[in-house]
Structure 1
Amino acid sequence: MYSLILHGRKSLELQKWLHLRSVVDLLRNESAFSPNPSPNPLSSLSNSFSSASVAASDVNLQDDQKGNNFTVSYLVGSLGLSTKLAESIWRKVSTEGKANPDSVLNLLRSHGFTDSHISTIVTNYPRLFILDAEKTLTSNLNFLQSRGASTSEFTEIVSNVPRILGMRWHKAVGRYYDFVKDIIEADKSSNYEMSCLSLPQGTCQENIIRNVLALRRLGVPQKLLFSLLTSNFHVVSGKERFEESLEKIVGMGFDPTNSKFVKALCVVYQMSDKTTEDKVNLYRKLGFTTGDVWEIFKKNPLFMALSEKNIQNSFETFISLGFSRDEFVTMVKHCPQCIGLSAESVKKKTEFLVKEMNWSLKAVVSNPAVFGYNLEKRTVRRCYVIKALMAKGLLGTELPPLSPVLAVTGEAFLNKYVMKHDDDKELVAELMAIFTGDRAS
């Protein structure tokens, strides 16, 4: 099957979606996985849902741009980023060390990068701001620029894989730079052939190019290919394991153009048969069917990357809060990201909604996405608007359903609960102050 992909021919086996039960049998019966999987294989792959939900308090954003402090206002003013995006980058950088935005931005601009390039780079690789501009960045930029590419080619390549700027060894930096250059050039010529195919067979470089070609012919976009090239998991460096893992993922029906395809490939590649079977058995003990497990995996591949300890702890947390086993299963099936959240986050959100707001546990079960909403910035503010309206007798005596309060967009919420009172400007101002966090209720 793999050879058919490499030669660009269509394979019926790759085109049809296999039944989930046959996929489970395949995973159980084939010894296709690594016998020594790494623990917590996708711990470094970020999940936007959990990242947002774990945050329990507002970030104390600094506005002082003096003293080389890294600030949200600096990013917004210097690069024109949205405040939301700038806050996200600031949070990622502020947890790792002191940032040097002036040095980094000036260095990139001196090498021909435009603000548009830099915005793309820092969005995809925020750690750039904490790298040593004089040593690591200058060294890598000068080395790459010496390879003879035009300024436009150089900036395009680096913008696509900014992570190479943080690599320590010039040999690795140059190798990945060349891979990306070949992929971009191959795509432009529409034949996907690369000069690196002349590399000796069996080498890591030859494996990478062969595997990248296979993925490209399946329709995996450039951006996703580049993330695989620089991944810590070395998925595209393998041969047999890569081929077997790819066949499984394609057989499960993952869309190659979607990021879930790459995440699923990474998960399957890293897990042994035994680890896979152990996790399926654990989920079954918690109340899931085998079919449930693979349906959830298709929704969120990182579901299978959680450690058994995290899975068990998550289950115990929900049970301790009064949810039944069946309710836990229902919530995870509808919103897989519920499992694996920190116990503190789950407890705070449940207690606020049930004890302070008096919604029932069943209401929460019907809306599990609430565990992914920022508690202070979204849930609390909206709920306090509802409380204020009820205190004034403007909503009756019963709480509205949970979904139209928390699940809707901010604009929809404002239209439904705030702007409808536009004949009372004082009330609207009061509600807006609560909604924006300028005043507590």
Structure 2
Amino acid sequence: MAMLISGISARPAFLLLFRSIYASISFIPSPNSQSFSTTPKTHQKNLIPVSNLFQRYGFPPSELPHFLKKNQFLLNSNPSEIEKSLKILLSLNPSQAFVVNVLCSCPSVLELEFLEKWQLGISELGISNVSLMAIRNILEVSRKFDLNPDDVSRCIKCLERLGFREDTVTRVLEAVPMVIMSSEDKIRGKIEFLIRLGIQKKEIDGLICLYPGVLAFGVENRLKPLIDEFEDLGFSLSEVRREVIRDPRILGLENGEFSQCVKLLKSLRCRLPIKENIFSHGAFRAAYEVKIRVDCLRRHGLIYREAFTVLWKEPRVILYEIEEIEKKIEFLVQDMEFDVRCLVEVPEYLGVNFDKQIVPRFNVIKHLSSIGGLGHEVGLRNLIKLSRLRFYNLYVKPYPECEKIYGRFGGESEVRNRHPVGMWKLFKPQKYPESNEDLRNVKSYMESLA
């Protein structure tokens, strides 16, 4: 070891990298163990040339130690064979970023015997503008199942025979590359199912291009039970067809999931205008909007039950765009430093205006906290559920510098009255001029009272 390090002392820039790689690869067994062999010496011998080789092809030095530790078979391989494999890989797409991406995703594609089958390039597959992601997926599936370029080409020609455009074929290879393993009969069966659903043949190409995942589902165990569920809930086949064409992702629903969304909608207790807006495009669309927002909340850390609870307590969230919901959640977690599960206790946070209420109030509390102006910690509930006037009186009015931060009731901001100036005149009884006859009648009335 000492001789190896002293041998490269002329390259101090590489010494740090070598030490980090060598320290991270814990493969040397105890000399007293039965597994002790000459393998570690092979690792030591190939460590520097293999490391240099990967760096030359664009591999980040900071990620190299972990990569080699995870894939120690590379240190047992012949560096010249690895270089041949890297050259073939680079010939498929002249981008070092592509090479690194493929290696991080599936290092086993570096096997020279496998890559030699792809030496003639991707062009033989019959797709002119195949994307980097599609190439990567093709190589991964082919390596995993020991496929030849002819096997992949056969699947692509099958998709083209079934009426799919080249762009759609590329999208399929990007999203569901396991279609390569499907037979033509299975793919045709899914297309025939869509036709029976009422979707015209000319619409299927666009539908698959929007949501290629349909080709990954089985007809009998996934698609047919889903349509049966829609019909059991009272939705007509024409309504289902219309919504599927609008958003094919509906076919990706898990069995039973849509029923839970419909159940939540039936149990909503909210103001009539909100409920009317939720159902403005029909019950089917409303239930699917619930599903999309449940998925959004789950992506940010809530469990299934918690996501439904948030929507039930704050139905306005169903009406908001996903981008707006995500912006509020990111601000809650990253800037306000609250746990995302606070939304279960204070779902109103997702229902208030971001720019007019959330940000100004947070800025005021953040300022007061920085100057020691708060005697206690202000939780999310107090931050959101206090009325505007009460929040102003508690946290803004006693501190003049907070007027500009808060903005809504700031000194330079005009406080809008409940009614426009002069509105009181509309409610004042109209005054008419008094005539001599009116005066005589009043005088007679007063005398009669006396």
Q: TM-score range by the shorter chain?
A: 0.3 to 0.5
Structure number with bigger Rg: 2
Question: TM-score scaled to structure 1, two decimals?
Answer: 0.42
